[in-house]
Structure 1
Amino acid sequence: MLTKVVRQSKITLIAGLSMMSSLAYANDPDYGIVPPQINAQTYILMDYHSGAVLAAANPDQRQAPASLTKMMTSYVIGDAIKQGKLHPTDMVTITEKSWGKNFPGSSKMFLNLNQQVSVDDLNRGIIIVSGNDACVAIAEHMYGSEQAFIEQMNKFVRQFDLKNTHFETVHGLDHEGQYSSARDMAIIGAHLIRDLPEEYKIYAEKEFTFNKIKQPNRNGLLWDKSMNVDGLKTGHTNSAGYNLVASATQNNMRLISVVMGVDSMKGREVETKKLLQWGFSRFETFKTLDANKTVSEQTVYYGAENKAQLGVLDDAFITIPKGRTADLKARYELDNKNLQAPLVKGQVVGKVIYQLDGKDIAAVNLQVMQDVEEAGFFGKAWDWVILTVKGLFD
């Protein structure tokens, strides 16, 4: 049973999560469960469905992202394909700038000058084998220059409300003024999974062959049979250290982990595995509200309709310690005591608040389920009288 309360204060939202889910957690809730010791400069473990941060150390610290940058490069490509602006069969001519010879000692797809390569191959070259040459080739093809492509990357940074990310390259090689954070990278990963499922499928592919050169995916956890890891991306430069964003599923739960600034290639896999296994063993995620199902019916004033159905337009999830479902309590709070027309479908008018051990741990935006237009003159006049009289007794 949901208890109704008129909302007096706002719960702090985690940056970016409002773009991912209708659910947000208050100040990274502390459940008193000690995470494993993680040897990384910064890390985070986030539940994909709910957005809950289960463990973190310095998650907003700005770091050199290295090839994790290619996750945003991939997002720009996948989004263009989804919108029909780019096609996997489109052919790209390899220019002087995107020639593999320009990237000695770094990961590349081994493109040849003036070679014709499909967008599909270049995309796989970026995601699977982390080709720096492929990034430049597709950037030039899509936007005419690397800089124009980078501007699109940073447009998505703003759209996702990433507070500690800025890109200066399409590939992630160290560059002054380029940075990201563990939290921001987890959010980018969640957007890839949610917004671009066809693009995300490529992240699980274990190898890619081009120009008769077979290269393995840099994410060694794809071969780990003890876990169901299906992405995402590795990165390494001398400045960044070893980075890894990973995602894995278990039953109905998906976790996203990020470790940055680890000392070795093997170490980033070891630390990531510790985080993911700990998360799956300690927490559970379940759906709390169904999309388009009414949670509450409220009176509307000044409207052509006198009632509004409130609920959520997307399924809402919550993550809590295992075995604590029976201890969870919920209430809903309205932003304003009296709802007034006009109201627009999807408009947020309050929250459903979840509480555990006397603490508010999460909030779901309570939305209007259908438009409510303004009433005519006489209807609004009558409601004005009703509200005026009610105000005398409040």
Structure 2
Amino acid sequence: MFSTTLKKTKIVALASMAAFPIMANAQDDVAFPTMVPPQVNAETYILMDYNSGAVLAAMNADQRQYPASLTKMMTSYVIGDAIKQGKIHANDMVTIDESAWGKNFPDSSKMFLNLNQQVSVSDLNHGIIIVSGNDACVAMAEHISGSTEQFVALMNKYVQQFGLKNTNFETPHGLDHPNQYSSARDMAIIGRHIIHDLPDEYKIYAEKDFTFNKIKQPNRNGLLWDKTMNVDGMKTGHTSQAGYNLVASATNAGNMRLISVVMGVKTYKGREVESKKLLQWGFNSFDTFKTLEANKTVAERPVYYGDAGDVEVGVLQDGFITVPKGRQADLKARMEFEKKYLEAPLAKGQVIGKVIYSLDGKDVANVDLQIMKDVGEAGFIGKGWDWLVLTVKSLFD
């Protein structure tokens, strides 16, 4: 049953409980533990729905691992965000100094940059994403931040911004460092941010090869060639200590998108096999659907001490939920508010409660309910009247 306040709460467009809208937030645990995933031969893995954030399968998802070249996903995010903000431009030219010279990376992946060569930001970015160029990472780090140390500090600011609990970067390229680590869950979250925040950047992840200095190199994500799936990203990684890692993302015919992360796989091909297992199982076992439209009112709540008597409540971004196939009609929903009475001032986007979805008596997803527009404070007389009203109401609580 939906909770209400003493002033009437107007519930908008509740045609049926099964159709009631909600956006699923990322869960700390697997959303549906009774759904048994395939056996996955990795030290740690996770399968996450991109739109809802629901974790569909996981093992040791918060275990700290050497990320290897998965690190370059965060390097790519920093670059893509700098381009998006206009701080740098794709056609800017970068002079390759000795620290970014390809000769400094004799036994690792590189773009084969030459000393004093002029290379565009676009080419360097492609070299990082497609061919995992360690030399290109150093060149871009110095171009954006002046030094790799300052660039790594910027990477770690995004770690904090994303709320990653088991990630710390010490290099822009991912070569093993004793204090550089991440987790399957954190890597899935980074991938989700790239896809959502930087769609132009993400398009590069689907490119199958890159040619520079007359050297053509393939994308190391072999799932891009798999005709049984629609994989369009993301990144591989390998060192002797990390094992073989892969973050992969794919869509199905229903526009459902999944992100899988496997880390610590023993073989090059194995990371593709294990990722494919997870993605296929996810598409065969679950459905994701939009349940809450951005900027569409879900409810109206009374406001006290404000220049408006009511405020509309909803979400500012589209909401989605993921459920086992065929179970959408079995969902139930309820609204819960943090406070019985709302008091101005209120800011657009301010969270005041949740809508919670349950299935078979278990809560499986929730969305934060937000204020849809600012509410300023009332004048002296209005405040006085609302104080009197609340004082009287409190006598009956």
Matched, 1:319 2:322: yes
Rounded Cα–Cα distance in structure 1 between residues aligned with 2:31 and 2:141 = 40
Q: Distance in 1 between matches of 2:281 and 2:56?
A: 10
- Displacement of 1:22 after TM fit? 7.2
1:268 aligned onto 2:267: no
AA of the residue aligned to 2:97:
T
- The 1-side partners of 2:324 and 2:271 are apart by 26
Kindly tell me: are residues 234 and 22 of structure 1, through their superposed partners in 2, closer, same or farther at Cα, counting changes over 3 Å?
same
Aligned to 2:247: 245
SS at match of 1:4: coil
Equivalent in the alignment of 2:280: 277
What is the distance in 2 between the residues matched to 1:142 and 1:174?
23
Structure 1 spans left out of the alignment, 5+ residues: 7-20
Q: Which residue of 1 aligns with 2:179?
A: 177
1:268 deviates by: 0.1
Determine if contact 2:29/2:55 at 8 Å carries over to the other structure: no
Q: Report what 1:335 is aligned to.
A: 338
Does structure 1 residue 165 correspond to structure 2 residue 167? yes
Alignment of 1:1-394 (within 5 A): 3-4=2-3, 23-25=25-27, 27-250=29-252, 251-394=254-397
Partner Cα distance (2:208, 2:341) in 1: 56
- The alpha-carbon deviation at position 381 of structure 1 amounts to 1.0
| Partner Cα separation in structure 2 for residue 156 and residue 344 of structure 1 | 25
Q: Quote how far apart the aligned CAs of 1:304 are.
A: 1.1
What is the aligned length? Answer: 379
Structure 1 residue identity aligned to 2:396:
F
Residue in 2 aligned with 1:9? none
Asked if 2 retains the 8 angstrom alpha-carbon contact of 1:5 and 1:331, the reply is: no
Q: 30-39 vs 123-132, which deviates more?
A: 30-39
| Alpha carbons of structure 1 residues 227 and 335: separation in structure 2 relative to 1, 3 Å | same
Q: CA deviation at 1:392?
A: 1.1
Q: Secondary structure at the match of 1:46?
A: strand
Q: 1:325-379 CA deviation, whole Å, 9 max, x = no partner? A: 1100111111000111111111100001111111111110101111111111111
2:8 equivalent in structure 1: none
Return the TM-score normalized by structure 1. Answer: 0.94
- Following the alignment from structure 2 to structure 1, what is the Cα–Cα distance between the partners of residues 190 and 125? 17
CA distance in 1 between partners of 2:29 and 2:194 (Å): 24
Taking the aligned partners of 1:299 and 1:90, their CA distance within structure 2 comes to 53
- Root-mean-square deviation (CA, aligned residues, Å) is 1.2
Give the deviation of 1:158 after TM superposition: 0.7
Identical aligned residues as a percent:
73
Structure 1 counterpart of 2:235, one-letter code:
K
Aligned-partner residue type, residue 370 of structure 2: Q
Post-superposition offset of 1:23: 2.7
SS at match of 2:205: helix
Cα deviation digits, residues 249-282 of structure 1 (max 9, x gap) = 0122100000000000100000000000000000
Counterpart in the other structure of 2:15: none
One-letter amino acid of the structure 2 residue matched with residue 283 of structure 1:
F
Partners of 1:213 and 1:377 lie apart in 2 by 74
The residue type equivalent to 1:299 in the other structure is P
Report if aligned partners of 1:108, 1:132 keep a CA contact under 8 Å in 2: yes
Q: Deviations over 1:64-83 (max 9, x none)?
A: 00000000000010000001
Counterpart contact for 1:31–1:321, Cα < 8 Å: no
Match of 2:381, SS state, is helix
Report the 3-state secondary structure (helix = DSSP H, G, I; strand = E; otherwise coil) of the residue aligned with 2:196: helix
Residue by residue over 1:178-216, the C-alpha shift from the partner in whole angstroms, topping out at 9 and shown as x without a partner, is 000000000000000000000000000000000111000
Amino acid of the structure 1 residue aligned with 2:214: K
Counterpart contact for 1:285–1:319, Cα < 8 Å: yes
Alpha-carbon separation, structure 1, partners of 2:362 and 2:27: 11
> CA 1:183–1:5 in structure 2 vs 1: closer, same or farther (change >3 Å)?
farther
- What code does the residue aligned with 1:387 have? L
